[in-house]
Amino acid sequence: MGLGGIPCDDKHFLGMLGMHGTYEANMAISHCDLLIAIGARFDDRVTGKLEAFAPEAKVIHVDVDPSSISKNVYAHLPIVGDVKVVLGQMLEALKAAEAKPNAEALKVWWHQIEEWRAKKCLHFEQDMDSAIKPQYAIQQLYEKTGGDAIITTDVGQHQMWTAQYYGFKKPHRWMTSGGLGTMGYGLPAAIGAQIAMPDETVIDIAGEGSIQMNIQELGTAIQYKLPVKIAIINNGYLGMVRQWQEMFYESRYSHSYFDSLPDFVKLAEAYGGTGFRIEKPADVGGVIEEALSIRDRFVIMDFAVSREENVYPMVPAGAALNEMILA
């Protein structure tokens, strides 16, 4: 769905790019003159329309797998090798050449980026008297953990919202199934992360569809006393399927609606864990704090979110990155 990120220097990060990337990140790719890709596959969810992807850019592509280079996007400078080694060599070469940035050009570039950022493409408003916005629930998870939890996700809208609204402060805190798109990945990944890092807070942000793919692993969590937290972003749909059906198939919903969901609170209790059902925005923060305080068993937080919220920005299939649909 576009989970790649664009670092620009040691102080700036433009965010994720691709089908659900930020406006500023996608526009920067579309207008840059040099693109350095580190271990990127350039799949269609990242590039959009191939012939319109970074049309003005020279591409330096670094990858340990030679078959990945120039497979989709032509590399003007292909470099095959271990990323750690190659980046070290690049830094040495820059130092030896006494290369310095063009301060004036960078000033102009950042001015342009700030104009794109002014779109505030991820802005949303939470009416405290209405249904919980999924963005708000995830933002609250970030605030209550200080951005320092290990986060796993399943696949779908909640995965994209997590990438957009959970502000990771440290590396190695994000585990997700990107290219494979594996529903059911999040809970087993969270269990593995909790075993490996027993003192860390581990949260699986899941959809109500994905969580059921491997929900029997709650038995593993309770058997080994793993205090993983499961935050279900529950809109009663296979959300990403529903979004595509709404946007591209005139809302002809087919096999994307759940009319037979379990009671996740009772299910958590049946396995020996703790469950919460959260239906009001005002209750979100308090429940998260209570869940985080429980350290001897798993917790399910079932967030009843607004049913037809969509993920934006969105690049339609076959469109260029600069042809985003904004909310």
**Hey, where are the domains in the chain?**
5-117, 134-304
Share of the chain above pLDDT 70, in %: 95
Instruction: Reply yes or no on whether the pLDDT at 98 is more than 60.
Output: yes
Instruction: Reply yes or no on whether the pLDDT at 83 is more than 90.
Output: yes
Kindly give the residue spans of alpha helices, DSSP state H, lying in 11-102: 23-31, 44-47, 83-96
pLDDT at site 27: 96
Whether 134-304 and 5-117 are alike in CATH topology: the answer is yes
What are the tens digits of pLDDT across the range 171-230? 899 999 987 889 999 999 999 999 999 999 999 999 999 999 999 999 999 999 999 999
Rounded mean pLDDT of 47-57? 95
* CATH code reported for the domain at 134-304: 3.40.50.970
Phi-psi region of 268 (alpha: psi -120 to 50; beta: other; left: phi over 0): alpha
Instruction: Reply yes or no on whether the pLDDT at 20 is more than 80.
Output: yes
* CATH code reported for the domain at 5-117: 3.40.50.1220
